[in-house]
Chain A
Amino acid sequence: MNNDLHISRATRLSTWSMVALAVIVIIMAAAPSWAGRAELRLFGEFFLYLSLATLWNFLAGYAGLVSVGQHAYVGLGGYAFFALTMLGGMHPYAAMPVVVVAGMLASSVVALLVFRLRGAYFAIGTWVVAEVFRLSFAQVSSLGGGSGKSLSLDIVRSLADGRAAREAASYWLALAVMVLVLAVVFVYLRSRQGVALTAIRDNELAAKSLGINIWRSKFIVYVLSGGLTTLIGALIFLQKLRISPDAAFSVNDWTAFVIFIVVIGGIGTLEGPIVGTLVYFLLRETLADLGTIYLIALGVVAILIMLKAPSGVWGLIRGRAGRELFPLSRRVCGLPDKGA
């Protein structure tokens, strides 16, 4: 009889899935040697959408900040990257950290304004801020004004020698950002701050009376998401090689679809956005030939999931046992099995 009671976050399932995740990342890191150009592009896009979804989930699912204006940061990232490299003459790799800092600064200023708003007002306020960003960048003629601008050839060339190497570099950047985003959110949720966040989500008043600074907790999440979303924006437009205000600040591409992904997968879990991104790309790749039908199908699926299974596909899989692939929740271990 072993009465060694202890608290653990890991379960056998989570340990194995972390090992599997590491193996998948290693296999995907080698993708430039085994996948074709089209697949590489698709995988890269997958990683970036997964990152966007994880960050929106971090905001809405964990911090209760239902923003519909995250496209502000995607567009800002794209434009900041184009401006730093083409107007500022920076090397693309050196521009990346600067882009993150720009995103964090911008989101801290925006937070001061939109955090005064609650619920629906907050949602609309974030969207208006994104519109302000779009209309402002459309006024900057050195960045192409309303019609946009292409990334100049020598900047693309400075990434790596040869087309294959450049495509691999852009792919690895996307993979690296996905790993970074998952790691940041995972570590944050396991930290003291993460526990505070869960407390706020469950009961804001109770959390406040325990001495949690709610404004600060939400502010940190908003600024972290803002900075990382900006970095993703830079990579998206490094992949696209061309930027315009309408593409950069598209509410459908960078906010609506991301919200669908999170809700279809399961909001408030780390696994949800991963499952949701898989569903999104499955739908897109199978129905893309039918044109806009896949967007209609996506809307229908999102509505059906919200009405019939609000905890999403992962919510159905995880079941009552609360299966987790990421070791997040604490469990008591060493209790005698009920069946034994």
Chain B
Amino acid sequence: MDWINAIVQGTLLGGLYALFAAGLSLIFGVMRLVNIAHGDLIVLAAYVCLTVAVMLGLHPLVALGLVMPIMAALGYVLQRVILNRTMGGDILPPLLVTFGLSVILQNSLLMAYSADPQKLQAGALETMSIEIGPLAVGTLPLIVFATAVLVIAALQWMFYHTALGRAFRATSDRQDIAQLMGLNRSHVFGLAMALALAVTAIAGVFLGIKTSFDPSIGGSRLIFGFEAVIIGGLGNLWGTLAGGVILGISQTIGAKFHPGFQILAGHLVFLAIIAVRPRGLFPRVD
């Protein structure tokens, strides 16, 4: 029963990782941008939510309604003003610029909010649980997982059934041809980043409700997100969800052997998977 419990909890944890990864998967898939600042943007979203929730006296999940458009607007501006200038065949310029953004974000948050851990107060939701047979499953992890499935499904639908999704896929396949067909590449990329950061806002708010956060924790969230994307395979959103779940289960099972082994087990499973399948389990595009 312990093992089944570990697998269930790991699957739910995977939902949070899939939320970390969904935005990353989107921008990595559409524009091959390695966004090193993604983890810090998740943390930024948590701080924005904290500020909004405290100032307006709102529940964090209600405040999310404001955090999403704020992060989306930030994403569009960031992409148009800075990141679009780094796009090209070489991975070094985007990597370096987002590394720079990461350091700037971390230290700005440190100056504004200090290094003290913060938490989003979600009231009774934090401790509620549901009995499913012999297992007690937290309500919050269930909500997070359901949200992750919804977000992935919505992104998937957007990708294959809307004009915006068609523009994303076209730009992803051949930027120059898409440009010839009348798509404004810079604008399309801006929209992709806006959408990615709106998803990041959801991830950040759930992170802030689930655990305490401080300005320095972005790096490891980035790695969890990237691992989920790579395990799942580039350009495959459902694969990203599967990657998150694999990572979550590896961690909870690792923690059963030894508490210090939790994160390590996730990384080792990731390395084992890419050793065998360097392009992930279900890659869609090269």
Q: Which residues of A contact B (CB under 8 A)?
A: 60, 66, 68, 113, 116-121, 123-125, 127-129, 131-132, 135-136, 138-139, 146, 251-252, 256, 259-260, 263, 267, 291-293, 295-296, 298-300, 302-303, 306-307, 310
Q: Given A292-B111, A306-B97, are A128 and B103 also a contact pair (CB < 8 Å)? A: no
With known contacts A260-B100, A299-B100, A306-B86, A117–B274 Cβ distance under 8 A: yes
Question: Are A129's CB and B28's CB within 8 A?
Answer: no
Flag if B97 contacts A303 (CB, 8 Å): yes
Is B76 interfacial (CB 8 A cutoff)? no
Question: How many CB-defined contacts (below 8 Å) exist between A and B?
Answer: 119
Q: Which residues of B contact A60 (CB under 8 A)?
A: 92
Residues of A within 8 Å of B260, CB to CB, are 135, 138-139, 146
Other-chain residue from A113, A259, A263, A307 in contact with B275 (beta carbon distance below 8 A): A113
* B69 at the binding interface (Cβ < 8 Å): no
Q: In the complex, which residues of chain A have a beta carbon less than 8 angstroms from the beta carbon of B62?
A: none
Residue of B nearest to A257 (CB): B103
A36 vs B278: C-alpha distance when bound (angstroms): 52
Chain B residues whose C-beta falls within 8 Å of the C-beta of A252 in the assembled complex: 103, 106
Q: Once the chains are docked, how many angstroms separate the CA of A184 from the CA of B212?
A: 47
CB atoms of B110 and A125 under 8 A apart: no
A66 touches which one: B28, B82, B95 (CB < 8 A)? Answer: B95
Interface contact B96-A123, CB-CB below 8 Å: no
The verdict on A302 contacting B100 (CB below 8 Å), with A128-B223, A135-B264, A307-B85 known, is yes
With both chains docked as a complex, state the minimum distance between the C-beta of B239 and any C-beta of chain A, in angstroms.
Answer: 14
Which of B101, B102, B223 is close to A131, meaning CB atoms less than 8 Å apart? Answer: B223
Cβ of A132 and Cβ of B102 under 8 Å apart? no
Residues of chain A contacted by B28 (CB below 8 angstroms): 120
Asked if B138 is at the interface of the complex by the 8 Å CB criterion, the answer is no
Are A296 and B223 touching (Cβ within 8 A)? Answer: no
Smallest Cβ-Cβ distance to B98: which chain A residue: A303
**In the complex, how many angstroms separate the beta carbon of A212 from the nearest chain B beta carbon?**
21
Whether the pair A292, B82 counts as a contact (CB closer than 8 A) is: no
Complex: chain A residue closest to B276, CB-CB: A116
Say which one of B12-20, B181-189, B191-199, B265-273 lies at the interface with A. B265-273
B156 at the interface (CB under 8 A from A): no
Q: B220 CB to closest chain A CB, in angstroms?
A: 7
Instruction: Answer whether A292 and B86 are a contact pair too, CB < 8 Å, given A128-B227, A302-B100.
Output: no
Task: State which residues 215-234 of B face A: CB under 8 Å.
Answer: 219-220, 223, 226-227, 230
In the complex, the answer to whether A121 meets B110 with C-beta atoms within 8 Å is no
Give the residues in chain A near B220, CB-CB below 8 Å: 131
Counting from the closest, the 5 A-B pairs by CB-CB distance are: A299-B100, A299-B104, A292-B107, A299-B103, A303-B100
B36 to A68, Cβ gap below 8 A?
yes
Nearest-Cβ distance from residue B217 to partner chain A, whole angstroms: 12
CA of A339 to CA of B92 in the docked complex: distance in angstroms? 41
